[in-house]
Amino acid sequence: MAKYVLMAILCMMGTRATAQKKKEVRSVISYISASVVYVDAGREQRILVGDTLAIVRGDKTLGAVTVTAVSNRSCAVLVLTQQSAFAIGDAAVIEKVVEAGAPAVMTTAAIPVSDPKSVVSVAAKPEPQLPATGSRQPSTINIVSGRLGIQYAGVHGDDARFDLRQPSALFRLDVANMFGTGMAFSVYSRNYYDLSPNYNRYGESSRMKNRIYELSIQRDLSEGTFGFGIGRMTSRFVSGLGTFDGGQAYVRFSNFTAGVVAGAKIGERTMAVDGEDTKGAAFVNFRSGEDFLHQYEGTVAYGRQLSRNKLDREFLYIQNSWTLGSKLSMYESTEIELNDIHNGVRTPTFSLSNTFFSINYYANNWFSANAGYDATRSVYLFESMKAFPDTLFDKNLLQGYRGGVYFRFPYFVSLSLNGTVRTKKGDERTSHNVGATVRMSDIGGSDVGAGIRYTNILSVYTEGNSITFDLDRTLFNKLSLSMRYDYYAYTITALNRSFITHTTTANVNYRISRALYSIISVDRVIDDSMNSYRIYGEIGIRF
Residue 33 has a pLDDT of 65
Summarize pLDDT for 221-232 with one digit per residue, the tens.
766 789 999 999
So where are the chain's domains? Answer: 2-123, 220-392
461 or 1, which is more confident? 461
Is the model's pLDDT at 97 over the cut of 80?
A: no
Interval 323-330 mean pLDDT: 84
Cβ distance 313 to 305 under 8 Å?
A: yes
- Give the per-residue pLDDT at 99: 52
pLDDT tens digit string along 350-365? Answer: 887 788 888 988 888 7
pLDDT at 9: 42
- Is pLDDT above 70 for 106? no
pLDDT above 70: percentage of residues in the chain: 79
pLDDT band for 534, please (50, 70, 90 cuts).
confident
Residue 100 is predicted with a pLDDT of 46
Q: Looking at residue 543, what is its pLDDT?
A: 79
Give residue 386's pLDDT band: very low, low, confident or very high (50, 70, 90). low
Other CB atoms within 10 Å distance of the CB of residue 328: 14
- Report CA torsion sign: 450, 451, 452, 455: negative
Residue 381 is predicted with a pLDDT of: 67
> How much is the average pLDDT of 192-219?
85
Mean pLDDT of 456-478: 85
Is pLDDT of 169 > 90?
yes
Average confidence (pLDDT) over 437-441: 89
Number of Cβ within 10 Å of residue 436's Cβ equals 15
Whole-number Å distance between alpha carbons of 175 and 180: 11
Question: 22, 60 in Cβ contact below 8 A?
Answer: no
The pLDDT value recorded for residue 35 is 60
Angle 164-170-176 (CA atoms, 0-180°, nearest 5)? 150
What is the model's pLDDT at position 45? 83
- What integer pLDDT is reported at residue 181 of this predicted model? 78
130-157 in b/e form (b: 16+ CB < 10 A) is bbeebbbeeeeebbebbbebebebbbeb
Tell me the pTM.
Answer: 0.71
Torsions phi, psi for 224 (to 5 deg): -85, 160
> For position 258, what pLDDT does the model report?
95
Report residue 150's pLDDT band, with 50, 70 and 90 as the boundaries. very high
Average pLDDT over residues 171-177: 86
Tens digit of each residue's pLDDT (9 = 90 or more) over 331-341: 888 888 888 77
Return the minimum-mean-pLDDT range out of 122-136, 327-341, 415-429.
Answer: 122-136
Mean pLDDT of 346-351: 81
Span of 48-52, 96-100, 273-277 with lowest mean pLDDT? 96-100
Confidence class for position 115, pLDDT limits 50, 70, 90: very low
CATH of domain 2-123: 2.40.10.340
More confident residue, 511 or 191: 191
- Name which residue leads in pLDDT, 104 or 94: 94
Q: Comparing C-alpha atoms, which of 396, 352, 350 is closest to residue 375?
A: 352
Question: What's the pLDDT score for residue 71?
Answer: 76
What average pLDDT score do residues 183-201 get?
A: 87
- pLDDT one-digit tens code per residue, 212-271: 989 999 987 766 789 999 999 988 888 778 889 999 999 998 889 999 999 998 877 778
Report pLDDT for 262. 94
Q: What is the pLDDT of residue 103?
A: 37
Dihedrals φ, ψ of 459, to 5°? -100, -170
Radius of gyration in angstroms for the set of CA atoms belonging to the chain, rounded to a whole number: 27
| Strand 516-526 to 532-542 pairing | antiparallel
Provide the pLDDT confidence category of residue 15 given band limits of 50, 70 and 90: very low
What is the distance between the alpha carbons of residues 301 and 401, in angstroms, rounded to a whole number? 26
Q: Provide the pLDDT for residue 19.
A: 47
* Per-chain mean pLDDT for the chain: 78
Strands annotated E in 234-272:
244-253, 256-266
Cα–Cα dist 72/93, whole Å: 17
